[in-house]
Structure 1
Amino acid sequence: MTTTNKMSKTTICSTCGTQLLAEPEIPSFCPICTDDRQYIPESGQQWTLPNELEHCNIKITQLNEHVYALKIQPDFAIAQRALLLISPGGNILWDCIPYLDKPTIDFIRSKGGLKAIAFSHPHYYSNMNDWATEFNCPIYIHQNDAEWVPFIIPHVKLWSGDSLQLWDGLSIVHIGGHFAGSCVLHITGITPNGTLLCGDTFNIARSKRHMAIMYSYPNIILLTKDEFAKAYQKASRLNFDTVYGAFENQDIEGNAMEIFKASMQRYKDGYGL
């Protein structure tokens, strides 16, 4: 990892949306996309300069009383959404999107700003340094994913262990599986039995009747039996009825635990656990 500051020249991978240093020169390839959990398109590695996204805007959608989804329009790179949790002790941004504009800054400030940014996994680091600098808040990333942080500023706080307790019943829980440091954000108090913001730690099917956990989603690579068992053991300790995933329409409200258990049982049967 290389230390940098807001004035450093950067470029953005057009495929995954990760912001990388572009000095002394633009990298030949994006390290995120050369990994088996992502891909470089057949057209080859392409880069986007930050100012080339200025034609975009960010759509803000309220998912419930406490959670907002933020998504860049038109779609860019992976086209994930970030989730903004409004909480009395301070707001948290879960995952990130590769653009930040003034209307979004104003909206978040109107809700009390950001106390922290936290991540499910490296595919959504995006331009996290810009967000953290703007809101002067820490970025929490699990130590197991430290190698994927393209460059750091003092805002980046690596943590270790099974969970990081925050405030107002919030905790970042290390699950593993998809990435060594994959996490979920567990929230108590906003739904009867708890809420998960899961990013891609668990991927919610279009039908909303299944939740997947894999080593690579785009390349359809399964976890090893041992890695699944470890991830399942950690996730099964959590209580929740609602899950919000990384993409639009990946919302399961009310019966998420039943869907999780049924989905994981399929994996257990397949792995012979």
Structure 2
Amino acid sequence: MNKTIICSTCGTQFLANPGVPEFCPICTDDRQYVPESGQLWTETIELKNRNIKITQLNEQLYALKITPEFAIAQRALLLVSPNGNILWDCIPYLDKPTIDFINNLGGLKAIAFSHPHYYSNMNDWASEFDCPIYIHQNDAEWVPFKTRHTRLWDGNSMQLWDGINIVHIGGHFAGSCVLHVPELTTKGAMLCGDTFNIGRSKQHIAIMYSYPNIIMLPRDEFEKAYKKASHIDFDTIYGAFENQDIEGNAKEIFETSMQRYKDSYAL
């Protein structure tokens, strides 16, 4: 069995054979960071004192988050759907209570991603639930290591089932995506991860090259991403972190926020 190691800053799992990498390639990229204390690594066994908090957001949607917080502290979203459940994004730990909870709901039929910062220990999850991992081809270079579960896809969208689509947006990463779930709410829901970032006031939605380093997107990249997202019908958006849910008027807030970007690029 291959030995693995986990970056303590972003939570991404890498192979430790033949040796531990000097630096995490995801954290040395401008969209992330290596902390001032330097590169730190950990192993799954060191996370055993943590739990996964499960919160129901909707009749068909649950949030999964490691507690106490670890690494980026994002949540994964578990979508329960008649023809198969989907895990949107991932968290770098999986325990037996969570395995049992998901299996009681019918297991997983797929894991899909917004972008590379949330790949985490995706291969452990895919192995446990024996399901494919869907990643856009444009982000293939960021996959730490592939297994038989890895599925790279290309194009503007990938239809799953029950009307659910992975939609390629770009912007934050070349392969950044959202998950569109038309039947989750009255006008549909968008699960966005960090492809878009919901402000604390919930009155603004951001799209940037780097959120922690506050780097704007080039104008042409913004315009391409906005054009793709503008065609999606939704009234609700669920982001990567707790308290990043906008219900009912999300499309209006999205359009207002994107107009601010358009106005700033016009200066």
Letter in 2 for 1:208: K
Letter in 1 for 2:266: G
1:169 is matched with which residue?
Answer: 163
Find the partner of 1:251 among 234, 241, 245: 245
2:195 is matched with which residue?
Answer: 201
Moved over 6 A (4+): none
2:22 is matched with which residue?
Answer: 28
2:236 is matched with which residue?
Answer: 242
2:83 is matched with which residue?
Answer: 89
Gapped regions of structure 2 (runs ≥ 5): none
1:139 is matched with which residue?
Answer: 133
CA distance in 1, matches of 2:138, 2:266: 28
CA distance in 1, matches of 2:82, 2:144: 32
CA distance in 2, matches of 1:18, 1:85: 22
2:61 is matched with which residue?
Answer: 67
Q: Does 1:117 align with 2:84?
A: no
Deviation string 1:169-228 (CA, Å, 9 cap, x unpaired) is: 100000000000000000011211110000000000000000000000000000000000
CA distance in 1, matches of 2:251, 2:130: 35
2:259 is matched with which residue?
Answer: 265
Which secondary structure does the structure 1 equivalent of 2:213 belong to? coil
Find the partner of 1:210 among 198, 204, 219: 204
How many pairs were matched up? 267
Deviation string 1:78-114 (CA, Å, 9 cap, x unpaired) is: 0000000000000000000000000000000000000
Gapped regions of structure 1 (runs ≥ 5): 1-6
Which secondary structure does the structure 1 equivalent of 2:58 belong to? coil
Which secondary structure does the structure 2 equivalent of 1:178 belong to? coil
Deviation string 1:15-57 (CA, Å, 9 cap, x unpaired) is: 0000001111100000000000000000000001110001110
CA distance in 1, matches of 2:193, 2:45: 27
CA distance in 2, matches of 1:14, 1:132: 21
Deviation string 1:145-191 (CA, Å, 9 cap, x unpaired) is: 00000001010000000000000010000000000000000001121
CA distance in 1, matches of 2:183, 2:245: 18
Shift in Å, 1:272: 1.6
CA distance in 2, matches of 1:269, 1:198: 23
Q: Provide TM-score, normalisation by structure 2.
A: 0.99
1:53 is matched with which residue?
Answer: 47
Deviation string 1:106-125 (CA, Å, 9 cap, x unpaired) is: 00000000000000000000
CA distance in 1, matches of 2:52, 2:96: 10
1:157 is matched with which residue?
Answer: 151
Q: Provide TM-score, normalisation by structure 1.
A: 0.97
Deviation string 1:249-270 (CA, Å, 9 cap, x unpaired) is: 0000000001000000000111
1:4 is matched with which residue?
Answer: none
Letter in 2 for 1:232: Y
Which secondary structure does the structure 2 equivalent of 1:266 belong to? helix
CA distance in 1, matches of 2:240, 2:252: 20
Which secondary structure does the structure 2 equivalent of 1:258 belong to? helix
Which secondary structure does the structure 1 equivalent of 2:21 belong to? coil
Shift in Å, 1:129: 0.1
1:101 is matched with which residue?
Answer: 95
1:181 is matched with which residue?
Answer: 175
